[in-house]
Amino acid sequence: MASGWKLRSFIPNLSFRQKLLLFSTVMSIVPVLVLGILSSVVTTESIQAEVNRNHQVILQQLEDQVDSFMRSLDKASLALANSQTIQKSLQAGISMTNPRVSLDMIDVINNIKVTAETDFEVSLYYLRFNLIYSSALGIIRDPTYPYTEIISLIGRQAGGLNMIPLHTYASRSEMLLIRGVPLGSPNPDGYLILQLPSEQIKRLLDRLNLGGHRKIVIVNDQGEVLTSRDMSDTGSQLLPTAPLYPYWITPGLLAGSLTMDGVDYNVSSLRSRLNDWTYIALTPSTELTAKARHIRSIMWLITAGSFLLWSAVAVIGSRRLYFPIERIAGKFAGRQPQMKRDGLRAIDEWTDHMLARNERLETQLSETQPLMKEYLLQRLLSGHLQNGETIRHLYAVGPPLPEHWHYVLIVEIDRYVSFHQQYNENDRFLLLYAMRNVIEELSAQRLASAASVAPRPGQIVLIAGSPAVGESLYEQLVLLCDDIREQVKAHLSLTVTTAIGSPRQGIGGIREAYLETLELLQYRWIAGPDRTIGAEQLAPSVQQSGRALAAWQNAIATGVMEGELDAARNQLDEMVESIPRALQNPQSICGLFALLIGEIDRRMHEHGYRQTQDMFEYNLLDYLYSLSSMQEVRSWMADTVFPAIHELLRTHATSHSRKLIAEVQAYIREQYETDLSLQMIADRFGISPSTLSRMFKKESGVNYLDFIIQVRMDKAKEWLLHSDMTIREMTDRLRYTTVHNFTRIFKQYTGLPPGSFRKKHYTGS
């Protein structure tokens, strides 16, 4: 930073001759320097492109081999999942009473393993019997982690191959491929699990001829390193701070270099189309840069020789070119004593001096008078000029308003907040400039004396002077305002509201007339936008009971909270229609709607919902006060605010009901041996029994008692098939009063009494 500052301060202090010499020398060597740099860059990029192509070939080979490897596994899994023997075994279970099915199943698995191109182990998860057969470990009863977690994550999917990557679980280092059996069934009988050790992937990697010190890293879609030549990296997680992280995030789109363990590498990556794995190839940069360094050395030698040659040429040429400039600069010597006598610098300073003087004079002549007039009129409207001082200053720049009586007209853009958001600063300036031109042109045609000023953004004030006042002049001003509104709407696609105040005598009364007209403009809330508001047009207000307005407000808030939007809108329409008879102060009207928003917000907070303000991307009260009429407020609240609140209430109620019923079902499955009366469950979850029964039927599709019977009968079937528990013990544990009662319900549910059910499935008939 310091050296850059010194250079900037050094160059301006040089003479033109010195600058000519310096720049001639620089420009002579720049082409050679640029050419050398470009050559070096092109060479380096060519080498990098070759490395990237080599990487892509390697990665493509790896992808083809891994994809072929995965397809062979997929083929084996499909053969097993489609096997009728496997399906029959999952339906019948593993039992010593019917060993033929199990032996056939084992033969099918062994045949598939023998003919497969890859070594793997096979496990069958018997969903009905909650056990696992493993080709490596045999029968696993009551399987625990990670099998239970895997099956719960996979769920009852209709089909498709589900893959669990390497090292997903601490106790299982192999990759798992899982299919539901039978294929495509929404309720599979079980799951087929192919277990592939990580060494198989490592052997694939070793078969690639990488050459040199290249590395290959395979990362799964979760950012875990599946394998690499350095087995210590296997299983690690790529963090956002890791050097390889960008190449995993954007494979194929990013190729570059990085440093790992003190070694620089060129990197390319490719994502598999089969399983979303990412293959990353790394080549040490030291194997690539030898030629690039040689080319750069030659370039710098050529640059040094060219620098010496062209420096000599620049010194000789600059001396010969500077002689005519010195003769011209001598003609200006003495005319500006404070200037330094330095050739073109003296000529340049003298020329700039003369141009600056001329520009200042032209600016003063063209801008001072209208700017001063605008400034004085703004100070007049703001009350910063006294009467005598105002007249003296205004006549100093040309008397704009010689008459004794003055009307003040205000033209203001409707919905200025939307106008400010819709257009950028430059477009707003152009539109306001065009609007002011329209106003001045129309006023010049209709009025003998008028002056315009823009005291606020979006507002133009027209001051009309007249020697006398009367109804004809007021009507003429009303017609002028109507024409202004029509012209602005037609040519600028904007709507404006105009206001006409009462006449005031003398220039000193203009300030009072302006304040009165500003108050009239506020009645746009009642009259609506795109209108002309005059002091003589306002009707007297009719008093309305404040109690009726409060009742409307309460009815609207109640309708919104109860989801009765049509009733809320009808109450809102009645309130809007009655407000002009009760209120004519725009601030009071805005305050009434602000209280309505606050009442709705309070009720939502009491019911545990978030505040109304948090539902919108903008401030509700700021937006309310930016609207121009009650009709705009009515449309905004009825069509935007009310539906948004209704949707929030509806969505919250639905999600709460679904979550509650899921918790009730989980509790019943865990506590099937306890008292599960509707009243007890309702008390536990803090809800009335009738509401719980209605919600349970709506969310689950079955009655509450039918669901309890289903859970208990499923548990009874499991005990009958897989335990020696007596029917009396089952009756007691499932909380039935008598064996007869339990037997009757079991027969209704399965079609057989408990004893017959056990005997039938035990004999395999």
Structure confidence at residue 44 (pLDDT) = 66
| CATH class of the domain at 401-534 | alpha beta
Considering only residues 743 and 222, tell me which one the structure prediction assigns the higher pLDDT: 743
Q: Is the pLDDT of residue 174 over 70?
A: yes
* pTM for the whole structure: 0.35
pLDDT tens figures, 12-71: 666 666 666 676 666 666 776 676 677 666 766 676 677 667 767 777 777 777 777 778
Q: Which residues pair with 130 in a beta bridge?
A: none
Number of H helices and E strands in the chain, helices first, is 27, 17
Query: Which position has the token pair 């992937």?
Result: 201
The answer to whether residues 650 and 672 touch, using CB atoms and an 8 Å cutoff, is no
The answer to whether residues 400 and 373 touch, using CB atoms and an 8 Å cutoff, is yes
Considering only residues 574 and 612, tell me which one the structure prediction assigns the higher pLDDT: 574
The answer to whether residues 724 and 732 touch, using CB atoms and an 8 Å cutoff, is no
Query: Which position has the token pair 């363990």?
Result: 261
* Cα(263)–Cα(247) distance, integer angstroms: 17
The answer to whether residues 317 and 304 touch, using CB atoms and an 8 Å cutoff, is no
| DSSP per-residue string spanning 618-637 | S-HHHHHHH--SHHHHHHHI
* Cα(213)–Cα(247) distance, integer angstroms: 19
Mean pLDDT of all residues in 268-274: 77
- Give the residue extent of every domain in the chain: 83-201, 401-534, 546-626, 671-763
Contacts of 3 (CB under 8 A, 6+ apart): none
Structure confidence at residue 727 (pLDDT) = 92
pLDDT tens figures, 216-226: 788 877 777 77
Considering only residues 434 and 640, tell me which one the structure prediction assigns the higher pLDDT: 434
Token code pair at residue 507: 């220039």
Q: Which amino acid is at 285?
A: S
Structure confidence at residue 516 (pLDDT) = 83
Structure confidence at residue 738 (pLDDT) = 92
Structure confidence at residue 434 (pLDDT) = 92
Query: Which segment, 70-79, 152-161, 236-245, 743-752, is predicted with the most confidence on average?
Result: 743-752
Q: Which amino acid is at 261?
A: D
* Cα(460)–Cα(521) distance, integer angstroms: 12
How wide is the angle at C-alpha 55 spanned by C-alphas 53 and 56, nearest 5°? 65
Structure confidence at residue 103 (pLDDT) = 83
Structure confidence at residue 294 (pLDDT) = 66
Classify 675 as helix, strand or coil.
coil
Q: Which of 174, 176, 179, 204 is nearest to 190 (CA)?
A: 179
Structure confidence at residue 542 (pLDDT) = 35
The answer to whether residues 592 and 583 touch, using CB atoms and an 8 Å cutoff, is yes
338 pLDDT band, cuts 50/70/90, is very low
Q: Is the pLDDT of residue 708 over 90?
A: yes
pLDDT tens figures, 390-402: 555 555 555 455 5
Q: Is the pLDDT of residue 442 over 80?
A: yes
Give the DSSP letter of residue 263: E
Q: Which of 282, 287, 304, 306 is nearest to 233 (CA)?
A: 282
* Cα(721)–Cα(317) distance, integer angstroms: 109
Q: How many CB atoms lie within 10 A of CB 297?
A: 10
* Cα(525)–Cα(521) distance, integer angstroms: 9
| DSSP per-residue string spanning 150-197 | HHHHH-S-SS--EEE-TTSBTTB-SEEEEEEESTT-SS-SEEEEEEE-
Q: Of 361-375, 392-406, 423-437, 608-622, which gets the smallest average pLDDT?
A: 392-406
Superfamily covering domain 671-763: Homeodomain-like (1.10.10.60)
Token code pair at residue 297: 């050395």
Q: Which of 435, 451, 542, 450 is nearest to 498 (CA)?
A: 435
Percent of the chain predicted with pLDDT > 70 = 70
Q: Residue 270: enclosing H or E segment and its boundaries? A: strand 263-271
Q: Which of 602, 581, 592, 586 is nearest to 553 (CA)?
A: 592
Using CB atoms within 10 A of its CB, is residue 303 exposed (0-12), middle (13-18) or buried (19+)? middle
Q: Of 241-245, 331-335, 627-631, 741-745, which gets the smallest average pLDDT?
A: 331-335
Considering only residues 737 and 156, tell me which one the structure prediction assigns the higher pLDDT: 737
Q: Residue 140: enclosing H or E segment and its boundaries? A: strand 138-141
Q: How many CB atoms lie within 10 A of CB 106?
A: 16
Q: Is the pLDDT of residue 309 over 60?
A: yes
Token code pair at residue 294: 């040689």
Q: Which of 553, 744, 667 is nearest to 754 (CA)?
A: 744
